[in-house]
Structure 1
Amino acid sequence: MNAPSGVLVVGGSAAGLATVEALRRKGYQGGLTVLGAESHPPYDRPPLSKQVLSGAWDPERARLRSQAALSALDAEFILGDPAVGLDTAPRTVHTASGRALRAGAVVIATGLRPRTLPGQAGLAGVHTLRTLDDALALRAELRAASRLVVVGDGVLGAEIAATAQTVGQSMGQNMGLAVTLTGPQPAPLDSRLGPAVAGLLAELHTERGVRLRLGSGVSGLDGHQGRVTGVHLDTGEVLPADAVVVAVGADPATGWLEGSGLRIDNGLVCDSRCRAAEGIYAVGDVARWHHDGLGALVRLENRTNATEQADLVAANILGDDRPYSPVPYFWTDQFDTKIHVHGTPSADAEVTVVDGDLAGRRFVALYRRNGTVTGVLGWNMPKQARLRRQEVADALSGLAQAV
Structure 2
Amino acid sequence: MAGSERPIVVVGASLGGAKAAQALREAGYEGGIVLIGEEHERPYERPPLSKGFLLGKEPREKIYVHPPQWYAEHDVTLRLGTPVVSIDPAAHTVTLADDGEVAYSKLLLTTGSVPRRLPVPGADQDGVLYLRRVEDGERIKAVLRPGARIAVIGAGWIGLEVAAAARSAGAHVTVLEAAELPLLRVLGREVAEVFADLHRDHGVDLRFGTQVAELTGTGGTVNGVRLGDGTLVDADAVVVGIGISPATALAEAAGLTVDNGIKTDQHLRTSDPDVYAAGDVANAFHPLFGTHLRVEHWANAVNQPQTAARAMLGEDAVYDRVPYFFSDQYDLGLEYLGYVAPGDYDQVVFRGDRAGREFIAFWLSGGRVLAGMNVNVWDVTDPIRELVRSQRVVDPARLADPDVPLDKL
TM-score w.r.t. structure 1 length?
0.91
345 and 262 in structure 1: CA distance in 2 versus 1, 3 angstrom threshold:
closer
In the alignment, what sits opposite 2:142? 140
- With a CA cutoff of 8 Å and minimum separation of 6, indicate the structure with the bigger relative contact order: 1
CA distance in 1, matches of 2:122, 2:321: 37
Contact 2:166/2:172 (<8 A) preserved = no
Q: In terms of mean alpha carbon deviation, does 377-386 or 343-352 score higher?
A: 343-352
1:20 equivalent to 2:21? Answer yes
User: Which amino acid in 1 is paired with 2:188?
Assistant: G
Summarize the alignment of residues 106-121 of structure 1 with structure 2, pairs less than 5 Å apart: 106-118=107-119, 119=121
Q: Which digits, 9 at most, give the CA deviation of each residue in 1:360-395, with x for residues without a partner?
A: 211112110232210011001131243222010112
In the alignment, is the contact (CA less than 8 A) between 1:4 and 1:317 conserved in 2?
no
Match of residue 290 from structure 2? 295
Alignment partner of 1:122: what SS?
coil
Q: 1:347, CA displacement in angstroms?
A: 5.9
Alpha-carbon distance between aligned partners in 2 of 1:27 and 1:341, rounded to the nearest angstrom: 33
Q: How does 1:22-101 map onto structure 2 within 5 Å?
A: 22-101=23-102
In structure 2, what is the Cα distance between the partners aligned to 1:347 and 1:282?
25
- Quick check: 148-157 or 382-391, which moved more? 382-391
> Which residue among 230, 244, 252 is the counterpart of 1:250?
244
**Residue type at the aligned position of 2:44:** Y
Q: CA deviation at 1:144?
A: 8.1
Q: Is the 8 A contact 2:95 2:102 kept in 1?
A: yes
The worse-fitting range, judged by mean Cα deviation, of 120-129 and 345-354 is: 345-354
TM-superposition CA deviations, 1:27-54 (whole Å, max 9, x none):
0000000001100011110000112112
Amino acid at match of 2:303: E
Q: Mean Cα displacement is larger for which, 62-71 or 101-110?
A: 62-71
Quote the offset at 1:91 in angstroms.
Answer: 2.0
TM-superposed deviation, 1:321: 2.0
Deviation at 1:299, TM superposition (A): 0.5
State the Cα deviation string for residues 67-113 of structure 1 (Å, max 9, x = none): 23233221000001111111112221111122211110000001011
Q: Which amino acid aligns with 1:89?
A: A
Other-structure match for 1:357: 353
Per mean C-alpha deviation after superposition, the further-off stretch among 365-374 and 298-307 is 365-374
C-alpha contact 2:246 2:261 (8 A) present in aligned 1 = yes
Aligned CA distance change for structure 1 residues 245 and 4 (closer, same or farther; 3 Å): farther
Task: Give secondary structure in 2 for the equivalent of 1:326.
Answer: coil
Instruction: Provide closer, same or farther for how the CA distance between residues 347 and 305 of structure 1 changes in structure 2, counting only shifts above 3 A.
Output: same
Distance 2:367 2:229 in 1: 39
Trace 1:178-197 onto structure 2 (pairs within 5 A): 178-197=172-191
Partner of 2:210: 216
Secondary structure (helix, strand or coil) at the match of 2:380 reads: helix
Aligned partners of 1:44, 1:69: CA distance in 2, in Å?
A: 16
Question: Residues 248 and 72 (structure 1 numbering): CA distance in 2 closer, same or farther, change over 3 Å?
Answer: same
Unaligned runs of 5+ in 2: 393-409
- Give the deviation of 1:145 after TM superposition: 6.9
Contact 2:7/2:104 (CA < 8 Å) preserved in 1?
yes
Is contact 2:146-2:169 (8 Å) kept? no
- Residue 325 in structure 1 maps to residue 326 in structure 2: no
Normalising by structure 2, report the TM-score: 0.90
Aligned length: 386
- Give the superposition deviation at 1:327: 0.7
Q: Does 1:163 align with 2:158?
A: no
Deviation per residue, 1:115-134 (Å, 9 max, x gap): 11134553010000000010
Q: Determine whether 1:373 maps to 2:369.
A: yes
Give me the identity figure in percent: 37
User: Match for residue 404 of structure 2?
Assistant: none
Describe the SS at the equivalent of 2:391: helix
Task: Check conservation: 2:156, 2:183, Cα contact below 8 A.
Answer: yes
Task: Determine if contact 1:190/1:347 at 8 Å carries over to the other structure.
Answer: no
The aligned amino acid for 2:225 is V
Name which of structure 1's ranges 116-125 and 289-298 shifts more when overlaid on structure 2: 116-125
| Residues 219-255 of structure 1: per-residue CA shift (max 9 Å, x gap) | 3312222111211323332211120001000111122
Cα RMSD, aligned residues only: 1.8
Unaligned runs of 5+ in 1: 169-176, 397-403
